[in-house]
Every structure is written in structure tokens, then in C-alpha cells.
Chain A
Amino acid sequence: ETGVTQTPRHLVMGMTNKKSLKCEQHLGHNAMYWYKQSAKKPLELMFVYNFKEQTENNSVPSRFSPECPNSSHLFLHLHTLQPEDSALYLCASSQDFGTGWEGYTFGSGTRLTVV
């Protein structure tokens, strides 16, 4: 375990469903991230939260809706997805960027399949 927990590990949903992905960390980090990893493509940054405030939305379609109620929890709400949204969704956390920053801690990911 890395200290970043993602649930569920696997999710199959229809295009009309609404579901949520959850990420939780108790590392004392104050920045959290959602990344999308599709086959044969680099990781794509989706959202960044710093001290539970969204600081970046990387042109993500509105069918993906993030929520960060506190610095330890991050959600990704999904609705009316398309088959091309099928991917591995990775959550990561980190300390403040600055001197001594040591990068991200990732969760194990949620494998999402849209049918």
C-alpha cells in the first residue's frame, strides 16, 4: 500500500449511468491529482487540487466532475460517459511544491470500462 487508496479497483458502467471514483490519502499531503491513462498514450492530467481548491482543469469534458471536500479525499463523479473514456484513472497526492519536494504518491488506480 502506498498510502493513497482508490476505490473501486474496477468499474464497468453503461453510458447512461452515474458513478463516482474515490481517492483517499492520510499522508498529510495537501495537493491531489486525477490522471487518465489510456492505452499507448501518456498520462493525461485532468484536475489538480491544492488545499482542497481546484487549481487546474485541463480542458476536461463536463461529464467528469471532481470534488474535493477536504485535503484527504478526492472524488471523480462520472455521468453520461463515452466508450472512449474507458481507461485507468489514477489519483496521486503530494506535499507542497518547493524545496524538498519529492514528487507524487499514486494510488493503484480504477480500471473503468464504459459499455
Chain B
Amino acid sequence: NAGVTQTPKFRILKIGQSMTLQCTQDMNHNYMYWYRQDPGMGLKLIYYSVGAGITDKGEVPNGYNVSRSTTEDFPLRLELAAPSQTSVYFCASSFRGWNTEAFFGQGTRLTVV
């Protein structure tokens, strides 16, 4: 059972480039989340989804986009990378948004230069 899988693990982008961070889960969870974590800081919610076809903004959505075409996949798109987007990105999923634990992927360490 793979759980939540994120790719890539590491990436260096130049300013203005675009990329998609991939996230897939095999637990048939309805809820999925994208967080970013800056060094020594907590997790900030970027976007979340309560099911296929439904997405909503979190605390820090600017500069990002998401889609949820299937239950399993929840990719995060950066259109015009900026140095402020240098961070570690975590994808997570849960069976419900409330009263259950969230399972996290291993993270993507992104550097924008």
C-alpha cells in the first residue's frame, strides 16, 4: 500500500518557469490537500479538495492552481515561478476532512533561482 506519493522529490526552477507537482493516493480518500512549509515554520494550506471535480482555496493560494479530475490525483501547478515559492510542498489526504487523520506524502523540495 503506497499511501500518498509525490513526485518529484527535488526540483530547481528558474524564475518564470512553470511546473506541476504530482500527487496521487491509493487509499480512496475523498479529501486531499496541498501545503507548503518554509524553513522552521508550520504548514500553510494552499488548496484543498473534497472530491473529484471540487477544489477550493486555502490560506495561501496565490501563484498556484490545482485540478482534481480523479479521486486519486491532485496535481499542483506553478505557472510563473518566483523565489517566494521556494519551499517544501506536502500533499496529504484523508478519508474525511474532519475527525480522521491526514496522511502525508514525503514532500517536494522546490528551489526557485
Check if A and B associate.
no
A contact residues vs B (CB 8 Å cutoff): none
B contact residues vs A (CB 8 Å cutoff): none
